[in-house]
Amino acid sequence: MMKKIAFTFAIVAAFMSARAQDKTDVLRYSQYTPGGSARAQAIGGATGSIGGDYSSIFSNPSGVGFFKTSEFAFGLNFNQANDKSTYLGTAGSDSKGNFNINSLGLILAGRKKNPHSKWQNVTVGIGYNRLANFNQNIYYRGRNNTSSIGSQYVSQLNGVDTGAVYDARYAFGPLEAVTTGFLLANYDANGNPLHTWETISPYDDPAGGGVLQEKSIYTSGRSELYNVAVGGNYDDKFYIGGSVGFPHIQYDRTSVFRETNDKGYSFAGYTMKYYEAADHLSTSGNGIQANIGAIYRPIPALRIGATFMSPQWLWLNDSYYSNYTTADNTGTYTASTIDEFNGSDVQSHYNIRTPWRGILSGAYVFTPKDNNIRKPSGFLTVDYEYEDYKSSSLKFKNGNSDDNQGSQVVQDDIKNSYKAASNVRVGGEIKIDVWAFRAGFAYYGNPYATGNLDGSRKYYSGGIGYRNRGFYADLTYVYMNRKAQDQPYTVGSDQPNVPTPGPAEIKSTTSNVALGIGFKF
């Protein structure tokens, strides 16, 4: 059989069945980590009512009103992500480190202009904050003797004629499996096509050894926010503020699935050596967001805060292509969607609206009665955050007739798959003279409404700080753990005796070391 078949087809403007955007994109850009200053990270990100830290620019802008002196500060982070996986009973692992500028803050404090007014000051804050870090490596492997990724392609091409397969709707997998010889068409005794397909992968060889399946996922990038906030102080009791933020997204992912016939089994005269599918995705875009908040001090020691964070409205662009290789006893054959789509990546444009958030906060601040700085002072603080993942959305903006239909499919999936979640952040600080000691904890609730998926996250943090004569330095350590799943492929119901493999179970831990430096002026 000829292994490389020349083909041409009209370029369609949309991904059609190969669209890369789905509900997972919405979730990825909706989840944030406790960020801001190193001090804020040390107290679990619970900055909704404490004020007086430049992280208020991003959390509750009314906290900017606590500043009566100007300040410039920045934070540096080193992030180490470790992932352990289990797939088909086999363990795997990978890790990745990343160094970045996590945050910047400039506070321009106002002064009281009217001695008879209860308005003490109006302060402006300008800042940068990294909301999420996408740097991660995942690897898993397992031996499969019940299905192949080729089984998925067989289901996708079930009923498709041998001539009709050369169409853009079958790109990004099935079409390339045919052109590289990983998939073969079935014919009857007279040479007529049966409109069914089979893979040369010998996963079901009677010897039972199966094939070795491996997947590596390499991701990088960030979700970041540039913010301008204004906070006012009324009579040192009531603080109100608002901010406008401009988010930026950069996300890059390379996913490589490899299936190896390391036992040397043969099928239909072919001895497959390996099959490999490598997908490459690059996403970039910008958006806008607005926050409003207030803090009330009924007594000097008690602070009560409330914040409303609007959704982020994001305008995103995807650039996507895939490379495929089949190697067997007759040679090595390759195909690329770049060649299939006139020598370029596939582009897709879409908008995402992330969930809105509501935050209620409280803090208790204690100080020695005689204001002796050598005696302990400090605070305890807590944030409760509610975010409704079901309120998020994704809409395609490719200018195609099927944009609305595709958007509705994703929207229905979001509503059926996600739910509202509650997040809790708690933290505290004890300060003695020029030294401060901090600890915190953050829990982000499970966004999934269906199945047994648990997407909750837990962060444990602690740190130390030094403050003296207008200079401060903070050092923080944050540890996070979470569980996730990755489904390498899915076999259709047309093959009842070929089961879909169970997903890879992934346990992720992240260690983050943050250093913050600040100057008052």
Give the DSSP H/E element, type plus range, for residue 122. strand 119-133
Q: What is the DSSP string of 140-171?
A: EEEEESS--HHHHHHHHTTT--TTTTSSGGGT
The amino acid present at 95, given as its one-letter code, is S
Higher-confidence residue: 12 or 170? Answer: 170
Q: Which of 29, 28, 47, 125 is nearest to 461 (CA)?
A: 47
The residue behind tokens 């923080």 is 476
pLDDT value, residue 375: 81
pLDDT-derived band at 78 (thresholds 50, 70, 90) equals very high
Nearest residue to 257 via CA among 144, 108, 156:
144
Choice between 18 and 108, residue whose per-residue pLDDT is larger: 108
Confidence (pLDDT) at 14:
32
Look at 6 and 84; give whichever has higher pLDDT: 84
pLDDT tens-digit series, residues 363-386: 999 988 877 777 889 999 999 999
Q: Are 241 and 173 in contact (CB under 8 A)?
A: no
Report the distance separating Cα 61 and Cα 235, nearest Å.
17
Convert the pLDDT of each residue in 320-330 to its tens digit. Answer: 999 999 999 99
pLDDT score of 204 more than 80? yes
Under 8 Å CB-to-CB from 10, ≥6 apart: which residues?
168
The confidence band for 19, taking pLDDT boundaries of 50, 70 and 90, is: very low
The CA distance from 481 to 131, in Å, is: 17
Give percent of the chain above pLDDT 90. Answer: 80
Query: Using one digit for the tens of pLDDT, what is the confidence trace for 439-461?
Result: 999 999 999 997 678 889 999 99
- Choose the most confident range, by mean pLDDT, from 109-118, 395-404, 489-498: 489-498
155 backbone dihedrals φ, ψ, rounded to 5°: -65, -40
What's the token pair of residue 302? 């008690």
Q: What is the pLDDT of residue 12?
A: 32
Q: If you average pLDDT over residues 244-251, what whole number do you get?
A: 97
Count H helices, E strands: the chain? 6, 21
The least confident of 8-17, 196-205, 344-353 is 8-17
Indicate the burial class of 246 (C-beta count within 10 angstroms; 0-12, 13-18, 19 or more): middle
- The mean per-residue pLDDT over the stretch 462-482 comes to 95
Q: 252-293: per-residue pLDDT in tens?
A: 999 999 999 999 999 888 999 999 999 999 999 999 999 999
Please tell me the predicted confidence (pLDDT) of residue 16: 36
Long-range (24+ apart) CB contacts under 8 A made by 77-80 are 77/101, 77/102, 77/130, 77/133, 77/512, 77/513, 77/514, 77/515, 78/512, 78/513, 79/133, 79/135, 79/510, 79/511, 79/512, 80/510, 80/511, 80/512
In the DSSP assignment, the letter for residue 456 is -
What number is the average pLDDT over the span 37-41?
A: 97
The yes-or-no verdict on residue 212 having pLDDT over 50 is: yes
Q: What percent of the chain has pLDDT over 70?
A: 96
Please provide the average confidence, as pLDDT, over all residues in the chain: 91
Contact (CB, 8 A) for 291 and 228: no
Between the CA of residue 85 and those of 96, 214, 215, 313, what are the distances in Å? Answer: 15, 11, 11, 34
What domains can you pick out in the chain, each with its CATH number? 16-70+96-112+136-520 (2.40.160)
Q: What is the pLDDT of residues 48-65, one digit of tens each?
A: 999 999 999 999 999 999
β-strand partners of 419: none
Give residue 20's pLDDT: 59
Q: What is the DSSP letter of 470?
A: T
Mean pLDDT over 473-485 rounds to 94
CA distances in angstroms from 383 to 62, 237, 287, 422, 482, listed in the order given: 15, 20, 26, 10, 21
Task: Please state the rounded mean pLDDT for residues 243-253.
Answer: 97
Among 16-25, 260-269, 319-328, 348-357, name the one with the lowest average pLDDT: 16-25
Give residue 4's pLDDT: 36
Contacts of residue 207, Cβ cutoff 8 Å, sequence gap at least 6? 263, 265
120 close to 112: Cβ distance less than 8 angstroms: yes
Angle at 85 between CA 80 and CA 87, to 5 degrees: 160
Contact yes or no for 394/26 (Cβ under 8 A): yes
Nearest-5° angle of CA 496, CA 178, CA 19? 75
Q: Say yes or no to pLDDT of 2 above 60.
A: no
pLDDT in tens, 504-519: 999 999 999 999 999 9
Enumerate residues 6+ apart whose C-beta is below 8 A from 343.
Answer: none
Which residue is listed with tokens 């007739």? Answer: 401
pLDDT interval class at 419 (50, 70, 90)? very high
pLDDT at 8 over 70: no
CB of 392 closer than 8 Å to CB of 23: no
